[in-house]
Amino acid sequence: DPNDHLQYMRLALDQAQESPPKPTNFCVGALLVDADTGTILERGYTLECEGNTHAEQCCLIKFAKAHGLPEERVGEVLPADTVIYTTMEPCNKRSVGNIPCVDRLIRTKGPDGRLRIKKVYLGVKEPEKFVGANEGIAKLQQHGIECIHVPGLEERILQVATAGHET
């Protein structure tokens, strides 16, 4: 029910607040949840894992690592009905050498070839500050991943996301 979504998004925002502010990106938080049981599988925030990592990417890295796998094989161990809550819509364009999170989410397939991440709950769309319009939502939906906006925390999410930006 909507209150559950808001509760999970609040926890994702708690993660975003852990992210070290930077002028060149946003502080974002994410939560991986098993939709069948409501269990929180993993949490993450921007730059939590080594390298120029995104919040969604950190959730996948950490969950895979807990199962002794590299991030690109996380689909093999995610529950069949996994969802991700992210305070900001997944990126569709990264600075050089990084795979966008949209592509990371789309490739989370199980051995049966079926998607493991079925829904993306997002707190805000990405402000067009770094990469222009983010076409990520359209691409996710084209691949059968439903994107749902969870209203109510937009102001706080953006305040936290832009903490490192000069005012």
Contacts with ligand HJL by CB under 6 A lie at 24-26, 28, 46, 52, 54-56, 86, 88, 90-91, 94-95, 98, 101, 126, 130-131
107 counts as binding Zn ion under rule CB under 5 A:
no
**Residues 6 or more apart whose Cβ sits within 8 Å of residue 69:** 76, 77
Burial 54-79 (b: 16+ CB within 10 A, else e): bbbbbbbbbbbeeeeeebeebbebbb
Exposed / middle / buried, residue 43 (Cβ in 10 Å: 0-12, 13-18, 19+): buried
Report in angstroms how near the CB of residue 18 gets to ligand HJL at its nearest.
12
140 counts as binding Zn ion under rule CB under 5 A:
no
Report in angstroms how near the CB of residue 158 gets to ligand HJL at its nearest.
12
The residue within the footprint of Zn ion, chosen from 64, 88, 91, 153 (CB under 5 A), is 91
104 counts as binding Zn ion under rule CB under 5 A:
no
Which position has the token pair 């937009």? 154
Asked if 32 and 12 touch (Cβ cutoff 8 Å), the reply is no
Q: Which does 130 bind (CB under 5 to 8 A by kind): Zn ion, ligand HJL, none?
A: ligand HJL
Reading the block at residue 154, the tokens are: 């937009």
Report in angstroms how near the CB of residue 1 gets to Zn ion at its nearest.
28
Closer Cβ to ligand HJL, 76 or 119, answer by number: 119
Report in angstroms how near the CB of residue 24 gets to ligand HJL at its nearest.
6
β-pair partners for 44: 30
Binding site for Zn ion (CB under 5 A): 54, 91, 101
